[in-house]
Amino acid sequence: MRYLIAAVLTVTLMVPVTASADEVVVYSARKEHLIKPLFDRFSNETGVEVRYITDKAGPLLQRLKAEGKRTPADVLMTVDAGNLWHAADSGVLAAVDSAVLAANVPANLRDPQGRWFGLSERARTIVYSTERVKPAELTSYEDLASPAWKGRLCLRTSKKVYNQSLVATMIARHGEQKTEEIVRGWVANLAAAPFSNDTKTMEAVAAGQCDVAIVNTYYFGRLQKKDPDIKLALFWPNQDGNGVHINVSGAGVTKHAKNPDAARKLLEWLSSEAAQGDFAGLNMEYPVNPKVARDPLVASWGDFKADALNVNEAGRLQADAIRLMDRAGYR
Amino acid sequence: MPGSLSSALGPDPSTLAAGRSPDRFWRWAARLLAISVLIPLGVIIGSWLAVDAATWSHLGSTILPQLLRNTAWLIGGVALGTLLLGVPLAWLTSMCEFPGRRVLDWALMLPFALPAYVLAFVFVGVMDFSGPVQGLLRDLLGLPPAWSFEVRNTLGVIVVMTLVLYPYVYMLARVSFLGQGRSAYEAARSLGLGPWAAFYRVSLPMARPGIIAGLSLALMEALADFGAVAVFNYDTFTTAIYKSWFGFFDLQSAAQLASILLTIVLIALVVERRYRARARFTDDGRNGQRRIRLRGRQAWAASAFGWLVFALAFAAPAYQLGVWAWASLDDLDMRYLDLLVHTASLGVMAGVLTVVAAFVLAFANRYHGDRSTAFAVRIGTLGYALPGSVLAVGVMLSLTWIDNRVADAIEALFGVDIGLVLSGTVIALLMAYFARFLAVAYGPVDSSLERISPSIRDAARSLGAGQWETVRRVYLPMLRPGLLTAGLLVLVDVMKEMPATLLLRPFGWDTLAVRIYELTSEGEWERAALPAVALLVVGLLPVILLVRRSAR
């Protein structure tokens, strides 16, 4: 019986992964329900099939590295500049020279060497309770460390890369020492232990456990869609300074891509006017392509000045940010 | 006992390949199995070839002390909790009779179908400040709007882990209690011991192998868990592992931390084996039919205890999941059929593979063992103590390495690049499941093997049965409850497994757990309820089936 099973397994399951000419293979840390509709459209329009696998950025990157030159992956798609920076830094991405991408993606939202391109922009901003906070009380991320917010702040865990990137850009602006003081101030102001995700963090604000929080806007959009009367609102901080912290989800062509041309075409298509509305809109993010209009709900939150710092910096300083938050006792 | 018993079966040339003694056959089979677990573990342990001092000194000076304290609390709490729930419940349902016993008998196993990460998000979603329970309390009792109690703390994590993991202890203790029958207990009673004394001094010690096997599984899972503690943002040792990997992109330090975890578990297992080796238990194979009939307050208390645990660990969370799933029913489409098929078929394949291997290991160790076989068993059962994604990355690294070397060689010889043959297939995934869950299957198989008296085997031999015939006609039938339990445990565990499935699944092989991950990682707990309910349903079928079969 054992041998029979072994034999059957060997014969039926050893179907090698082969790449055909009109197919792009994507390793994606962006979730399936946010990318599949786009991939389906791309296949319909171009006849190029897209196969993909989703996982966290860390394992996908490890897999790319281990597979080396025989990787089936043509594209690595991930969220957060930190992850993209690490992918580029570990040499698994190829530089792509594309006039289309250069035109569609603003310079601060892509790798200066062309190894990855932002495809949607996300703003990490302040959300507040409309019942207990007047917008006039709010100014900046840094100000949330002041004693005025003692017992009123909720934060997501520092283990989430979004917070790591936020703190990393603060290090880039203020240096380590001042940033650490700010983070310590945040921790001192916390009304509850850090939450595991942005949604729970906002629900705590809505329920009255705290008054303000720092979240990505699309999580707010989801709550708002579910409950249009929710007593929360977004505030755009640092408008007199560097602007709202932004991040990207993005993608790059792998160094050992079997179909680099099709991979580049996929990225170009995703950055195009035809796709950007959906790519960003499905998740209520901001399109990177300036010619594309925002989702109506997203547009209703108003315009803001965004931080022009290249998001690459967030990746470069990410490890410093984690160490800093650990020192400051921000869990 | 290894060695001393091995000669009892004796060489039997008629049943084996020429020129090989059964000892050698079983030993080599065991070693071979151990090697397939050892390779991915070796990748992890091999990380010590170089040390990144920066990560270590940072972790050591900041978060590590707190993590170790948290981990110690968690392990202590879960050990206490799972024993306090699992053992008494197993005793009550297997040996006593009280109202509701027939249903509770199997109902108490149902929480096993619920993954820890799912119960965690249900628990936090319902019990935290912004959840319905605290909100209702504030409204009903007219409490101030800021009134609250903290649930995302040590106690909360211990409660959730206990409710999810007690079924390991319950199931294996139950198999032991059922297996020992009532004869020993009745003998103790007839010699003048009271019911409690007979339980503590006879039944409990006899069930110890099963209880310990269940407890070690529960504790290893608690140690290796990341999903549930992440929902609580409760930092344990695995947090440091994931921080090193996903934060610092320092897989090496992550693997080193994981190997420390492994060492701790290895030491614990060795100590336990030493301790256990002094006692040997067999039963006469006669299963008493009469149960202890509880009456009055006792019966009522037993019933209430059972139903309370069932309600907290299963009924309430399942109800909440159902409510959430109903609200996101629009997500249900034909793709769920694929998800179901993938989930179930991976579970079945891994279950069969792992149980066969566990039987070979346990049998080899018990009857044909030497020191190296015993060592092979220990290696083979270590995978469970590793966080899933660390083990998965070990499998992935070793398979891609082998793949690349093979492809290099073929390319050099024939000029054709065959690509990666193993690593993108179901085989890679099955290897990871195998390495991870061998311990799960080994526990019940070995503890039921332990209770088979050598005299039975001797009788079979004296009647002229050969080695394979003895295995086939004596051992396998007697081991059936144990083998079934093992198969069920692995089946359900594999269906719940998340990190290895994520990393190693071939294209298109998404499972329900993968779907849950995609939604929970976006903070969409309520939408994740739909795949969670589906997972619960497929998980329940084997659980109910098995319990009914093993319950007589």
Cβ within 8 Å, pair B502-A58: no
A259: closest CA among A42, A65, A31, A49?
A49
- The CA distance from A77 to A61, in Å, is 10
Q: Give the per-residue pLDDT at B279.
A: 56
Distance from CA of B61 to the nearest CA of A (A): 9
Please, what is the average pLDDT of chain A? 93
Pairing of strands A245-253, A286-287: unpaired
Question: Which residue is it, tokens 């059964």?
Answer: B22
- The CA distance from A107 to A308, in Å, is 9
**Cross-chain CB nearest to A66 (options B246, B397, B422):** B397
- The CA distance from B503 to B491, in Å, is 19
Spell out where B83-218 has E strands: 96-97
Confirm or reject contact between B418 and chain A (CB < 8 A): yes
pLDDT of B469 higher than 90: no
pLDDT of B487 higher than 70: yes
Cβ within 8 Å, pair A59-B499: yes
B111: closest CA among B80, B89, B131, B133?
B89
Other C-beta atoms lying within 10 Å of the C-beta of residue B18 = 5
Confirm or reject contact between B158 and chain A (CB < 8 A): no
The pLDDT confidence band at residue B9, using thresholds 50, 70 and 90, is: very low
What is A61-84 written as a DSSP string?
HHHHHHHGGG---SEEEEESHHHH
Token readout for B549 is 């079969």
B230: closest CA among A196, A326, A162, A204?
A196
- The CA distance from B504 to A57, in Å, is 14
Rounded to two decimals, what is the model's pTM?
0.90
- The CA distance from B205 to B211, in Å, is 9
Confirm or reject contact between B287 and chain A (CB < 8 A): no
Confirm or reject contact between B401 and chain A (CB < 8 A): yes
pLDDT of B225 higher than 80: yes
Instruction: Please classify residue A139 by burial: count the beta carbons closer than 10 Å to its beta carbon, then call 0-12 exposed, 13-18 middle and 19+ buried.
Output: middle
Token readout for B528 is 């994740």
Mutate to test the interface with A, among B150, B345, B400, B402 (most CBs of A within 10 A): B400
Coil, helix or strand at residue A131: coil
B249: closest CA among A257, A89, A286, A16?
A89
* A50 in Cβ contact with B461 (< 8 Å): no
The pLDDT confidence band at residue B93, using thresholds 50, 70 and 90, is: very high
Cβ within 8 Å, pair A327-B62: yes
**Cross-chain CB nearest to B502 (options A59, A197, A203):** A59
Q: Give the per-residue pLDDT at B426.
A: 93
pLDDT of B549 higher than 70: no
Please, what is the average pLDDT of chain B? 87
What is A156-194 written as a DSSP string?
B-TTSHHHHHHHHHHHHHH-HHHHHHHHHHHHHHBSSSP
Token readout for B223 is 């140690």
Measure Cα distances from B107 to B60, B102, B526 in Å. 45, 9, 25
Distance from CA of B326 to the nearest CA of A (A): 15
- The CA distance from B350 to B488, in Å, is 11
Q: Give the per-residue pLDDT at A21.
A: 63
Cβ within 8 Å, pair A31-B518: yes
Scanning B4-128, the segments in alpha helix (DSSP H) are 6-9, 22-45, 53-61, 64-95, 101-107, 116-127
B524: closest CA among A31, A84, A110?
A31
Distance from CA of A160 to the nearest CA of B (A): 9
Cβ within 8 Å, pair A56-B521: yes
The pLDDT confidence band at residue A105, using thresholds 50, 70 and 90, is: very high
Token readout for A187 is 């921790």
What sign does the dihedral B385-B387-B389-B394 (CA atoms) show? negative
Summarize pLDDT for B318-366 with one digit per residue, the tens.
999 999 999 999 989 888 999 999 999 999 999 999 999 999 999 898 8
A80: closest CA among A163, A142, A24, A175?
A163
Buried b (16+ CB within 10 A) or exposed e, B219-256: bbbbbbbbbbbbbbbbbbbbbbbbbbbbbbbbbbbbbb
Q: How many residues are present in chain B?
A: 552
Cβ within 8 Å, pair A68-B403: no
pLDDT of B6 higher than 70: no
A231: closest CA among A208, A206, A212, A210?
A206
Q: Give the per-residue pLDDT at A20.
A: 56
Summarize pLDDT for A12-63 with one digit per residue, the tens.
454 444 445 689 999 999 999 999 999 999 999 999 999 999 999 999 999 9
Summarize pLDDT for B235-268 with one digit per residue, the tens.
999 988 999 988 888 888 999 999 888 888 888 8
CB contacts, 8 Å: A71 with chain B: 420
* Residues contacting B234, CB < 8 A, separation 6+: B70, B74, B152, B153, B154, B156, B157
What would you measure as the largest C-alpha separation in chain B, in angstroms? 83
How open is the CA angle B63-B66-B71, to the nearest 5 degrees? Answer: 120
Cβ within 8 Å, pair B423-A204: no
Mutate to test the interface with B, among A197, A220, A320 (most CBs of B within 10 A): A197
Interhelix angle B204-224/B64-95, nearest 10 degrees? 140
Confirm or reject contact between A256 and chain B (CB < 8 A): no
Q: Give the per-residue pLDDT at B508.
A: 87
φ/ψ bin of B480: left (φ > 0), alpha (ψ from -120 to 50), beta (otherwise): alpha
Helices (H) and strands (E) in chain B, counts: 26, 2
Give the residue from chain B lying closest to A17, CA to CA: B424
Coil, helix or strand at residue A214: strand
The pLDDT confidence band at residue A6, using thresholds 50, 70 and 90, is: low
- The CA distance from B365 to B27, in Å, is 8
Q: Give the per-residue pLDDT at A11.
A: 46
- Residues B202-216, mean pLDDT to the nearest whole number: 88
Q: Give the per-residue pLDDT at B457.
A: 81
Q: Give the per-residue pLDDT at B17.
A: 39
Cβ within 8 Å, pair A200-B128: yes
Judge if ipTM > 0.85: yes
Token readout for B54 is 């920066």
Question: Which residue is it, tokens 């069920």?
Answer: B488
Give the residue from chain A lying closest to B407, CA to CA: A70
Q: What percentage of chain B's residues is helix, strand, coil (to nearest 5)? A: 80, 0, 20
Cβ within 8 Å, pair B421-A16: yes
